[in-house]
Amino acid sequence: KMQLVKDKIMTGQKVLITAGPTREAIDPVRYLTNHSSGKMGYALAKAAIQRGADVTLITGPVHLEEPKGLATFIQVETAEDMFQAVKAHVDHQDIIIKSAAVADYRPAIYHQQKMKKSDEDLVLTLNRNPDILKWIGMHKKPHQFIVGFAAETNDIMENGVSKLKAKGTDLMIINDITRSDAGFQSDTNQVILVSKKGEQQQLPVMPKSQLAHIILDNIIA
């Protein structure tokens, strides 16, 4: 019975989660993307649903089933699509968790027809995509709590902490993506939590489903 009470601790809370990669088309055949599987974001959505939250999931293309019990499910392809969906839903949210691996760039030109190869090397020009998390941080309402993820290969803490500040987040989940038991495709993850106040918590390797609950516990605390 105690467990039941604890599990519904987020009843009435509105939670927006973004998950997965984005996909930036070059032509009808090719696109730019990254290794994100969406597993961490979907695990967070499931954990928040279990706790009674009203969850909106905005997801890039992934091979995962829609979690049961979502309030809203929005599938997007590009960073720009994700940005529009976030802007349309962010206002009434209490907690925003940006676990998506948003492509930082998109091809400057979308070729309507398949690009033909030639004997020359090809140079693609890429344009910057909007930084969605930074936009959320800039438009944060007093009642909102914002969580970001930082994917790092080197100078993990330094880079993660500077992202926390640059993006105006309340909590940053720092991921060392060089580890095989953590990050993009893995069912497990190993992260460091850093709060705006500077509190740090290094967590052991664990299933993403379990980590999701620890992240939610930290948000609630």
Catalytic residue numbers read: 34
Q: Residues binding ligand CTP: what is the number (CB under 6 A)?
A: 14
145 is in an annotated binding site: no
Q: What residues are paired with 18 via a beta bridge?
A: 58, 98
Q: Which range touches ligand CTP (CB under 6 A), out of 64-72, 125-133, 189-197, 207-215?
A: 125-133
Residue 104 Cβ, how far from Ca ion at the closest point, in Å?
4
Taking CB within 5 to 8 Å according to partner kind, which of Ca ion, ligand CTP, none is near residue 42?
A: none
Instruction: Choose, by CB under 6 A, the member of 79, 96, 146, 193 that binds ligand CTP.
Output: 79
In a 10 Å sphere around its CB, with 0-12 CB exposed, 13-18 middle and 19+ buried, how is residue 3 labelled? exposed
Q: Which of 208, 161, 156 is nearest to 182 (CA)?
A: 208
User: Is residue 104 within the footprint of Ca ion (CB under 5 A)?
Assistant: yes
Assess contact for 53 and 13: CB atoms under 8 A.
Answer: yes
Our CB check for Ca ion shows the closer of 14 and 163 to be 163
Give the CA dihedral 151, 16, 22, 67, nearest 10 degrees: 100
Q: Which of 170, 174, 172 is nearest to 153 (CA)?
A: 174
Instruction: Choose, by CB under 6 A, the member of 59, 129, 144, 209 that binds ligand CTP.
Output: 129
Residue 110 Cβ, how far from ligand CTP at the closest point, in Å?
18
DSSP, res 121: -
Q: Decide: helix, strand or coil at residue 97.
A: strand
Binding-site residues for CTP sit at 104, 114, 130-133, 149, 163, 167
- Which residues are near ligand CTP by CB under 6 A? 79, 98, 100, 102, 104, 129, 131-133, 148-151, 163
